[in-house]
Each structure stands twice: as structure tokens, then as C-alpha cells.
């Protein structure tokens, strides 16, 4: 009997679900969404690249760029913790979905937290070396 009363109560309740993407995801400020670089502070020490558990970060000292393969990143916050100059920050929003592996390139000639989007060929996890 209790399920029947519960069902009737549910009929007159506001829906528990939200109308995502129209309503926006209900993410807390502490959510680990994706990492962003402020390249004016980067000293290219490669600590983020070495500590990344999924080999998602590629540091290029000559070209002065930091490249992140979004599909490989697990947002574990390790790079943010090891960075000696607080270059890397974690934002709560996730990166947009894509049909091909996406690579975000942060370079010194771009403003802070801005990046260039590049695509890898389908099925490839890392850029050609």
C-alpha cells in the first residue's frame, strides 16, 4: 500500500530532474571539470607533464605551448597541485562534447585561459610525434 501513496505523492510533486542542457547542469563550485593554463606564469618545468597519470599533457618548451588531450584527461587535479607557479586552475564546467578527439593548445601569445582547438584524426589518442 505504501508504494501507492508514494506514487500519488510523486504525481503532484515537482519533477526531480532538470531540463539539461536548457536549464544547465547543477554543478557545485568545487566540481573538477577541466583544467586551464595561464601561460604568462608558466616556467615550462614539465612537472605537470611528468605527474599526469594519463599522459594527457604535452609540454613544448621550444614552441612555448602546453597541449592537453581532452579525451585523456581524467580531471584528477594532480597537475594543479604540483604546479609551482599556480599556472594551472580547475574550473567546474566540463569541456564541450566532440565527434573527434580534441586537443587544446595553450600558448604564450594567447590571453590567459584562452586556447586554440585542434582535432586529432578519429581513433587517435595522441598527436603524431
> What's the min distance (Å) between Cβ of 16 and another protein?
5
Near another protein by CB under 8 A: residue from 24, 40, 60, 77? 77
Binding segment for another protein (CB under 8 A), chosen from 36-44, 69-77, 95-103, 113-121, is 69-77
User: Cβ distance 36 to 110 under 8 Å?
Assistant: no
Strands 34-37 and 88-91, sheet pairing: antiparallel
Which H/E stretch holds residue 42?
Answer: none
Residue 81 engages another protein in binding (rule: CB under 8 A): yes
Residue 86 engages another protein in binding (rule: CB under 8 A): no
Residue 51 engages another protein in binding (rule: CB under 8 A): yes
Which H/E stretch holds residue 17?
Answer: none
CB under 8 Å to 14, separation ≥6 — which residues?
Answer: none
Nearer of residues 68 and 105 to another protein, judged by Cβ: 68
Amino acid at each position: 500500500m505504501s508504494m501507492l501513496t508514494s506514487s500519488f505523492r510523486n504525481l503532484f510533486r515537482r519533477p526531480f530532474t532538470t531540463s539539461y542542457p536548457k536549464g544547465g547542469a547543477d554543478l557545485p563550485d568545487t566540481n573538477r571539470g577541466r583544467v586551464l593554463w595561464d601561460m604568462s606564469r608558466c616556467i615550462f618545468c614539465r612537472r605537470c607533464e611528468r605527474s599526469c597519470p594519463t599522459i594527457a599533457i604535452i609540454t613544448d618548451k621550444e614552441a612555448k605551448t602546453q597541449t592537453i588531450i581532452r579525451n585523456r584527461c581524467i580531471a584528477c587535479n594532480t597537475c594543479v597541485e604540483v604546479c609551482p607557479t599556480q599556472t594551472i586552475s580547475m574550473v567546474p564546467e566540463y569541456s564541450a562534447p566532440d565527434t573527434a578527439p580534441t586537443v587544446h593548445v595553450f600558448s604564450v601569445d594567447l590571453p590567459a585561459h584562452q586556447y586554440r582547438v585542434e582535432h586529432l584524426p578519429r581513433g587517435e589518442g595522441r598527436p603524431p610525434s
